[in-house]
Amino acid sequence: MHILFLTDNFPPETNAPASRTHEHTKRWAAAGHRVTVVTTAPNFPAGKIFEGYRNRLWQRERIDGVEVIRLWTYITANEGFLRRTLDYVSFMVVAILATPFLPRSDVIVSTSPQFFTPCAAYVVSRLKRLPWVFELRDLWPDSIVAVGAMKETLLIRALRKLEYFLYRKATRIVSVTQSFREILSKNGIDAGKIEVVPNGADLEAYRPGERSGKLAEKFACEGKFVAAYVGTIGLAHGLGTLLDAAEQLRERGDIAFVIVGAGAEEKTLMAEVVRRGLDNVHFAGSVSKAEVREYWRFCDVAMVLLRDSPLFRHVLPSKMFEAMSTERPIILGVKGESEAVLKESGAGISIPPEDSGALAAAILRLAADREERIAMGKAGREFVTSRFNRDVLATRMLDVLGRVARKQGVVQ
Residue 16 has pLDDT above 90, yes or no: no
Band of the pLDDT at 411, cuts 50, 70, 90? low
Nearest to 55 by CA among 37, 43, 68, 66: 43
Q: How far apart are CA 288 and CA 280, in angstroms?
A: 24
Band of the pLDDT at 412, cuts 50, 70, 90? very low
Provide the 3-class DSSP secondary structure of residue 348: strand
- Give DSSP secondary structure letters for 104-157: P-SEEEEE-SSSHHHHHHHHHHHHHT--EEEEE-S-TTHHHHHTTSS-S-HHHH
The pLDDT tens digits for 305-360 are 999 988 788 889 999 999 999 999 999 999 999 999 999 999 999 999 999 999 99
Residue 113 has pLDDT above 90, yes or no: no
Band of the pLDDT at 52, cuts 50, 70, 90? very high
The answer regarding whether domain 213-387 maps to CATH 3.40.50.2000 reads: yes
Residue 410 has pLDDT above 70, yes or no: no
pLDDT-above-70 percentage for the chain: 94
Averaged pLDDT of the chain: 91
Return the minimum-mean-pLDDT range out of 66-75, 179-188, 344-353, 378-387: 179-188
Band of the pLDDT at 149, cuts 50, 70, 90? low
The pLDDT tens digits for 208-226 are 988 888 999 999 999 999 9
CATH T-level topology, domain 2-200+389-407: Rossmann fold (3.40.50)
The pLDDT tens digits for 261-292 are 988 899 999 999 999 999 999 999 989 888 99
Q: Where in the chain is the domain with CATH 3.40.50.2000?
A: 2-200+389-407, 213-387
Q: What's the predicted TM-score (pTM) here?
A: 0.88
108 within 8 A of 120, measured Cβ to Cβ: no
